[in-house]
Chain A
Amino acid sequence: MPKGIALDKQGRLKDRVAMTDTNLLLTITVVVFFILYLSAVFFLGGSFAKPQNFLNILNNNASLIVLSCGMSIVMITGGIDISVGAVTSLVCMVCAVNLEQQGGNMLTVILIGLGIGLAFGVVQGFLVAHLGIQPFIISLAGMFFAKGMTTIVSKEPIRVTNEGFLAVKDTRVIVPGLGSPNKLGVYIPAYVEVGVVIALLVVVLLFCMLRWTKLGRAFYAVGGNNQSANMLGINVRRTKFLAHVLCSLLAGLGGILYFLHVGSGDVANGAGDEMNAIASSIIGGTLLTGGVGNVVGTFFGVLSLNTIKRIVSSLGFDEAWWSNITVAGMLCLFLVIQSIVLLRKNTSKQ
């Protein structure tokens, strides 16, 4: 506690106040990302130096960004949702069946995606918030349910040939100024896919929601201490419920973006994405214990995670299993860092 704090004429504090946990962890994340990426550019050079390479990280992970943001919100309230990857897969599969076999269009795809997300969110949210069941167990069941349903819908991969859909899928949004000439000297403009635009929009919207709306602040309060939040007059159950609904809804949206990126329904779609989402959130400074976190951090978490993956694969470890081991390693590292930081803090306060 700084002693003798005084207010100046504008009513602002003269003393600088220590950073909040959220900002501290956010800063760490952003710094880690830039160190990672710059060292990749510096030491590995080549493809990393091209802007399009960076944009491809976004292109490949638009869906993951959205999933991770949803995950962060649930984690901020102190919960977790490991069904998101399986929901992604289910959405892709149902959308593919809808487009190929039932003559659907983009609108029905969007409705299906959000509808499935909403359904998972409502059920899981209700069970967690109103019946007080551990979110991990519920979402584990949700994950297995979605996985099972996906194979029930179709065991075989379905490649989409619907033209309206492919037109949207292949739309490229040109990013001015970042293009570069190819080997023949022809200027190739840098681009992102439609999904990236949506994902960035989601990040911005969620950031604003978490920072300024009543609901956003309630998420933090509930995660900080849900009994206190209740005493402070916050409807804890409703807040938790909405967090889960929002998370699953974003998982549905993430499913649509994934579908837009790969253009097929496959049991293997989104496999392990719940892990990637949790890892990204944690790397992005969201505490597992709740109450601390930020979607901007999560965004950088996704970028860091995938930069690491690329570095690992460009070092020659490009077998499939290295990717999983890398994610697990990163997750482990950041979990331990968080744990040490928190333990330190708690002991120093005594």
Chain B
Amino acid sequence: MQEGAVLEMRGICKYFPGVRALQDVDFTLREGEIHALMGENGAGKSTLIKVLTGVYPKDGGEVRIRGVEGAAVIRSPQDAQNAGISTVYQEITLCPNLSVAENMYIGRTKGAVTNWRQMNQGAGRILSSLGIPASPTQQLGTCSIAVQQMVAIARAVDMECKVLILDEPTSSLDEQEVVKLFGLMRDLKAKGVGIIFVTHFLEQVYEVCDRITVLRDGQLVGEYVIEDLPRVQLVSKMLGKELDDMADIKGESGGAAISQDGAPVLEATELCSNAGIKPFDFSIRKGEVNGFTGLLGSGRSECVRAIFGADHVTGGAVKMDGREVRIKKPLDAMKQGIGYLPEDRKGDGIVGDLSVRENIILAYQVMKGFFRPISRAQAEAFADNYIELLEIKTASADTPIKSLSGGNQQKCILARWLLTDPKYLILDEPTRGIDIGTKIEIQKLVLKLAEKGKSITFISSEIDEMLRTCSRLIVMRDRKAVGELTGEDLTQSKIMATIAGGDEQ
């Protein structure tokens, strides 16, 4: 092994049916460093980590760990823990039915008998030292997601580990918690622990990391010392292209300014649902693109879900084209000409085992009704038309949609709604987790649809995407609409300030 290295991975390969998730990837982690693993969604970061921790078996290559003779054999997360690798995964991997303390100790204690008193005391100490507002005896499921994530981190750092892996741990944490976490990481670094840090936030990378390894399309792009790699270069390495395409779309964005005098297509007053949002007002004009912005969990998805009737609407009134309508369930909204592309593509969007064709016609078929099935020939015509129009890359219209890449799945869902010819289309995070090329295509499509007179609500976590497409932004904070920005107010800084609520203090 190299001097000072605690972990070396060489020539790692991993295949999924039809996909090369990792191809010949090398990775080296040195003692006492924080090493960022960067890449777009689908670049193979999570796969690499799951291979390292034994969640997935690898198809090639070898892993060496300091203190282990020869190639390390890691077949299960248990092996990884024994080899001194502790991990915090992106999704919460704790058991909601167990207590906080038990979640911190289970699977890593020696001896066959659980000493509850000792465990609760130990957990209490760690929790209070990290300032986590949870009780050791509390059932984990009753804690908030952020606290659960902190508990997972507490568990990982409490282990005597040589390698600590943090796979996007910060996405559900607030700023103070992130600061706390970074403090912790620096302490561990000083103790000689090697830390692999996966995140999407560039600021965070440049704040704590020493080195960066970039992956793209399952292949290694390179390993860099942080000082040698300015942000712009990092981004272009991740994307594999220069930023021309992005600039391209920006030029057109002025076009999103629409006639302000058009009558509203949809007007909602005092709308609220059982998902815990405060009543809000909303309206959109013909040909307008607007958006909801705010932090994750601020209630932006819940707002559009209320408009579409996806959550149980508990109050408020909705007018379509000036007429009062009742939207109790998604079908009501669809009949009013509303389409909704949900945030969670896998869970709420695609119907995985059905073919691309069936996925595309689904919403239209439902609107036509139970006794009027679309004929096979017609369905094929629809599907072929949209596959060509949106350049969906699929082997055939009969391919199960789950075998397509994320971006192409998203296009199919877009096609599904376009087929219903909606007056008003809600796109909740249509660009999340898809490659940059498709992202830009989708943004362009949004603008084109608006030009054709469709009204669109566009939601994205990336503010610059919103700036490029939307002419009006509704800002959400703590499940409440706190501001509306248009025209010259549409700048990154102004949006940030409104989200943070600085203007009210």
Q: Is the CB of A11 within 8 A of B121?
A: yes
B contact residues, total (Cβ < 8 Å):
47
Q: Point out the residues of chain A lying under 8 angstroms from B103, CB to CB.
A: 232
Q: Point out the residues of chain B lying under 8 angstroms from A157, CB to CB.
A: none
Q: Is the CB of B113 within 8 A of A213?
A: yes
**Nearest chain A CB to B120's CB is how many angstroms away?**
8
Q: Point out the residues of chain B lying under 8 angstroms from A215, CB to CB.
A: 112
Q: 1/0 contact trace for A184-227 toward B, CB 8 Å?
A: 00000000000000000000000000011111011011011101
- A167 at interface by CB-CB < 8 Å: no
Q: Is the CB of B133 within 8 A of A230?
A: no
**Interface pick from B19-27, B141-149, B191-199, B430-438:** B141-149
Q: Which residue of B lies closest to A3 (CB)?
A: B133
Q: Is the CB of A17 within 8 A of B109?
A: no
| Given known contacts A1-B144, A214-B113, A232-B106, A224 and B138 CB-to-CB distance under 8 angstroms | no
- B497 at interface by CB-CB < 8 Å: no
- A20 at interface by CB-CB < 8 Å: yes
Q: Is the CB of B135 within 8 A of A13?
A: yes
Partner of B76 from the list A20, A211, A230, A291 (CB cut-off 8 Å) is A230
- B94 at interface by CB-CB < 8 Å: yes
Q: Point out the residues of chain B lying under 8 angstroms from A228, CB to CB.
A: 92-95
Q: Is the CB of B55 within 8 A of A231?
A: yes
| Given known contacts A7-B128, A220-B95, A232-B93, A214 and B135 CB-to-CB distance under 8 angstroms | no
- B41 at interface by CB-CB < 8 Å: no
Q: How far, in whole Å, are A234 and B94 apart by their CA atoms in the complex?
A: 11
Q: Point out the residues of chain A lying under 8 angstroms from B136, CB to CB.
A: 13
- A152 at interface by CB-CB < 8 Å: no
Within 8 A of A (CB), among B117-159: 121, 124-125, 128, 133-139, 141-144, 147
Q: Is the CB of A232 within 8 A of B143?
A: no
**Nearest chain A CB to B167's CB is how many angstroms away?**
11
Q: Point out the residues of chain B lying under 8 angstroms from A5, CB to CB.
A: 133-135
| Given known contacts A1-B147, A350-B274, A350-B276, A232 and B107 CB-to-CB distance under 8 angstroms | yes
**Nearest chain B CB to A229's CB is how many angstroms away?**
6
Q: Which residue of A lies closest to B122 (CB)?
A: A11
Q: How far, in whole Å, are A11 and B118 apart by their CA atoms in the complex?
A: 11
Q: Is the CB of A17 within 8 A of B121?
A: no
Q: Point out the residues of chain A lying under 8 angstroms from B135, CB to CB.
A: 2, 5, 13, 15, 17
Q: Among A5, A11, A212, A233, which residue has the most Cβ atoms of chain B within 10 A? A: A233
Partner of A223 from the list B97, B114, B142 (CB cut-off 8 Å) is B97
| Given known contacts A1-B143, A350-B274, A350-B275, A214 and B109 CB-to-CB distance under 8 angstroms | yes
Q: How far, in whole Å, are A224 and B148 apart by their CA atoms in the complex?
A: 15
Q: Is the CB of B113 within 8 A of A291?
A: no
Partner of A234 from the list B78, B111, B134 (CB cut-off 8 Å) is B78
Q: Is the CB of A221 within 8 A of B107?
A: yes
- B96 at interface by CB-CB < 8 Å: yes
**Nearest chain A CB to B390's CB is how many angstroms away?**
33
Q: Is the CB of A4 within 8 A of B133?
A: yes
- A102 at interface by CB-CB < 8 Å: no
Q: How far, in whole Å, are A13 and B135 apart by their CA atoms in the complex?
A: 7
Q: Point out the residues of chain A lying under 8 angstroms from B116, CB to CB.
A: 212
Partner of B138 from the list A17, A21, A231 (CB cut-off 8 Å) is A17
**Nearest chain B CB to A291's CB is how many angstroms away?**
4
**Nearest chain B CB to A326's CB is how many angstroms away?**
31
Q: Among A3, A215, A292, A350, which residue has the most Cβ atoms of chain B within 10 A? A: A350
Q: Point out the residues of chain B lying under 8 angstroms from A17, CB to CB.
A: 135, 137-138
Q: Point out the residues of chain B lying under 8 angstroms from A21, CB to CB.
A: 97, 139
Q: How far, in whole Å, are A5 and B123 apart by their CA atoms in the complex?
A: 14
**Nearest chain B CB to A96's CB is how many angstroms away?**
38
- B89 at interface by CB-CB < 8 Å: yes
Q: Point out the residues of chain A lying under 8 angstroms from B53, CB to CB.
A: 231
Q: Is the CB of A220 within 8 A of B98?
A: yes
Q: Is the CB of A221 within 8 A of B95?
A: yes
Q: Is the CB of B114 within 8 A of A213?
A: yes
| Given known contacts A223-B97, A231-B55, A1 and B133 CB-to-CB distance under 8 angstroms | yes
Q: How far, in whole Å, are A15 and B77 apart by their CA atoms in the complex?
A: 35
- B448 at interface by CB-CB < 8 Å: no
Q: Point out the residues of chain B lying under 8 angstroms from A292, CB to CB.
A: 97
Q: Point out the residues of chain B lying under 8 angstroms from A224, CB to CB.
A: 95-98
Q: How far, in whole Å, are A178 and B118 apart by their CA atoms in the complex?
A: 41
Q: How far, in whole Å, are A2 and B138 apart by their CA atoms in the complex?
A: 10
- A39 at interface by CB-CB < 8 Å: no
Q: Point out the residues of chain B lying under 8 angstroms from A221, CB to CB.
A: 95, 98, 106-107
Q: Is the CB of A231 within 8 A of B89?
A: yes
Q: Is the CB of B124 within 8 A of A230?
A: no
Q: How far, in whole Å, are A251 and B297 apart by their CA atoms in the complex?
A: 49
| Given known contacts A230-B77, A232-B103, A1 and B134 CB-to-CB distance under 8 angstroms | yes
Within 8 A of A (CB), among B243-272: none
Q: How far, in whole Å, are A340 and B143 apart by their CA atoms in the complex?
A: 21
- B108 at interface by CB-CB < 8 Å: yes
Q: How far, in whole Å, are A1 and B151 apart by their CA atoms in the complex?
A: 14
- B87 at interface by CB-CB < 8 Å: yes
**Nearest chain A CB to B326's CB is how many angstroms away?**
22
Q: Among A4, A12, A228, which residue has the most Cβ atoms of chain B within 10 A? A: A228
Q: Which residue of B lies closest to A291 (CB)?
A: B97
- A347 at interface by CB-CB < 8 Å: yes
**Nearest chain B CB to A220's CB is how many angstroms away?**
6
Q: Point out the residues of chain A lying under 8 angstroms from B97, CB to CB.
A: 20-22, 220, 223-225, 291-292
**Nearest chain B CB to A266's CB is how many angstroms away?**
40
Q: Point out the residues of chain A lying under 8 angstroms from B275, CB to CB.
A: 350
Q: Which residue of A lies closest to B136 (CB)?
A: A13
Q: How far, in whole Å, are A227 and B77 apart by their CA atoms in the complex?
A: 11
Q: Among B103, B107, B147, which residue has the most Cβ atoms of chain A within 10 A? A: B107
Q: How far, in whole Å, are A347 and B312 apart by their CA atoms in the complex?
A: 11
Q: Which residue of A lies closest to B111 (CB)?
A: A214
Q: Is the CB of B77 within 8 A of A231?
A: yes
Q: How far, in whole Å, are A233 and B106 apart by their CA atoms in the complex?
A: 8
Q: Which residue of A lies closest to B311 (CB)?
A: A350
Q: Is the CB of B114 within 8 A of A233?
A: no
Q: How far, in whole Å, are A229 and B106 apart by their CA atoms in the complex?
A: 9
Q: Is the CB of A11 within 8 A of B77?
A: no
Q: How far, in whole Å, are A82 and B389 apart by their CA atoms in the complex?
A: 53
Q: Which residue of B lies closest to A15 (CB)?
A: B135
Q: How far, in whole Å, are A96 and B139 apart by their CA atoms in the complex?
A: 48
**Nearest chain A CB to B80's CB is how many angstroms away?**
8
Q: 1/0 contact trace for A218-257 toward B, CB 8 Å?
A: 1011011101111111110000000000000000000000
Q: Which residue of A lies closest to B80 (CB)?
A: A233
Q: Point out the residues of chain B lying under 8 angstroms from A227, CB to CB.
A: 93
- B46 at interface by CB-CB < 8 Å: no
Partner of B94 from the list A12, A211, A218, A232 (CB cut-off 8 Å) is A232
**Chain A: residues with CB nearer than 8 A to chain B?**
1-5, 7, 11-13, 15, 17-18, 20-22, 211-215, 217-218, 220-221, 223-225, 227-235, 291-292, 347, 349-350
- CB-based closest 9 A-B pairs: A224-B95, A233-B107, A291-B97, A224-B97, A231-B93, A232-B107, A233-B78, A228-B93, A233-B81
17 contacts between A and B (CB under 8 A): A1-B133, A1-B134, A1-B142, A3-B133, A5-B135, A11-B125, A223-B97, A224-B96, A227-B93, A230-B55, A230-B77, A231-B55, A231-B89, A232-B107, A233-B81, A291-B97, A350-B274
**Chain B: residues with CB nearer than 8 A to chain A?**
53, 55, 76-78, 80-81, 87, 89, 92-99, 102-103, 106-109, 111-114, 116, 121, 124-125, 128, 133-139, 141-144, 147, 274-276
